Chains A and B, each alone.
Chain A
Amino acid sequence: MALSTRTLPASNTRPTLADEPVIAAAVLAERAVTDLYDTLLDNGALSNDLRQVGALFRDHHRAAADVLTALIGTAAPRGRNDFVYDSYAAAMGGTNMSAISAALRGVENTLVATHLSLLEKLEGTMGANKIAAILTVEARQAAVLATLDGASLDAALVNDAAALTIDGVNS
């Protein structure tokens, strides 16, 4: 191919005012999942190996919440998405490893689906880039949870979870 001059589109635009509630919704969801992993780790039902995995994934969700919070500054909300936390908290207190694993997989897949829906609402590319970088890791985490549990290949590769419906954001 002949040499050519090529122009790349601009790739970094800050979140708009309309982006702030979208990113705030993602922050609340990430905090809820961080708390779910904390509840699980406090439960004491996990082996040492799985505790390390749980702590790693918990830290990833906390980092995601922190990065998104920094992106919108004072517009960032406090607290967590209680619907998400309450939906899965009981499973995190159990002792059946397969049930815990399936619940965690459901949580991770729900976040992936939610972030994909939020991606379609974001105008600024800085927020979109961050959400993309987060959801790609959460997809990996969902697949790993299936693999560690000895679940089927479909369970690792297919996301059949629905996105969270968030009033005024993606509803």
Chain B
Amino acid sequence: MNRMNRRRMLGMSGAGALAAFLAACGKQAGVTESANIRALGVPAEIPGLSTEEVNDVVLLRTAASLEFTAIDAYEAALNLGVFTGSAAALRAVATRMRDDHRGHADAVNGLVVAAGGKAFECANPRFNEVYLAPALAAITAADNADVPGDVLALAHGLETVAAQTYQSVVGLLTTPALRRAAMTIGQDESRHAAVLAQAINPGAAGVGPSVDADGRPLVAAVPSAFGELTATPLTLGPVRADGSRFQVSLETPSLNSFIYPNVTCA
């Protein structure tokens, strides 16, 4: 390192002193830098951020992924063997809705391919991790007293989010034809949600917004005058030691759950 004594430093005037000081702190000739040994105050290099565009293909692939999430959920529900006795009629409903989602998945992936993208043929990884897997774990817990009721609640929540997803992408899709195609499927999901809402809270009393004796909101088949994009709260599973139950708020896909071109099925 260049040597510089105090007297010489003080003898130099402002800018000159600063330039000399900075030069003294600079790289040393003939010394090889090591990436493994960092000097104090020198931050590690940050890898550059990749740039992803949320375009028609990404939005449609994401919609396709939710269709497969719904298919997986109905498959899991049908395999639980809970649609017996008074819940036997719901087996036909669940089967029909699963089949509808298969048709939707094919239709959406057709749009993906037509838009120049690659079909996405599995469930949304983020949704499965954050919503579906924990919800199914709560539903299938050994001490859960109302498995059919919880299955219905989960199905209703997923259908609501699916309908919201199609509605939410209308303003983001670039062509009117794609907007129509998206909402053609979205209105199907809305019908699913309404039918399931009626299964949970039947009759005329279950159509509009209402609350139970404790003031908690009940499921409504037509909860508002316009399709809402707010989160759908779900409470499932057995009552835990502290009196609580598993809770989650289902939300439409966002930047961290979109199916970008680099996302593939495992």
Contacts and interface: CB of A to CB of B under 8 A. Distances in A.
Interface stretch (B68-76, B111-119, B188-196, B245-253): B188-196
Contact of A60 (B53, B163, B171, B225): B225
Given A49-B204, A56-B207, A136-B167, A153 B195 contact: yes
B28 interface: no
Contacts of A133: 167, 226-227
A148 B221 CA distance: 11
A6 B166 CA distance: 20
A132 interface: yes
A139 interface: yes
Nearest to B226: A133
A148 B204 contact: yes
Residue of B92, B100, B204, B260 contacting most chain A CB atoms (<10 Å): B204
A116 interface: yes
Interface in A39-72: 49-50, 52-53, 56-57, 59-60, 63-64, 67
Interface stretch (B12-20, B128-136, B176-184): B176-184
A50 B53 CA distance: 48
B42 interface: no
Interface range on chain B (Cβ under 8 Å from partner)? 35 or more
B24 to A, nearest CB: 37
B50 interface: yes
A160 interface: no
A117 B208 CA distance: 28
A144 B222 CA distance: 8
Contact of B226 (A5, A63, A119, A148): A63
B115 to A, nearest CB: 14
B145 interface: no
Given A120-B180, A133-B167, A7 B54 contact: yes
Nearest to A118: B180
A110 interface: no
A135 interface: yes
Nearest to A4: B50
Interface bin, chain A:
35 or more
A136 B188 CA distance: 9
B221 to A, nearest CB: 5
B195 A143 contact: yes
A134 B179 CA distance: 14
A52 B209 CA distance: 12
Given A56-B207, A116-B184, A134 B226 contact: yes
A9 B59 CA distance: 11
Contacts of A141: 194, 222
Interface string B90-110: 001100100010000000000
A4 B51 contact: yes
A136 B183 contact: yes
B23 interface: no
6 contacts: A7-B53, A123-B176, A128-B171, A132-B167, A143-B194, A157-B100
A50 B177 CA distance: 37
A96 B222 CA distance: 24
Contacts of B45: none
Nearest to B56: A9
B54 A128 contact: no
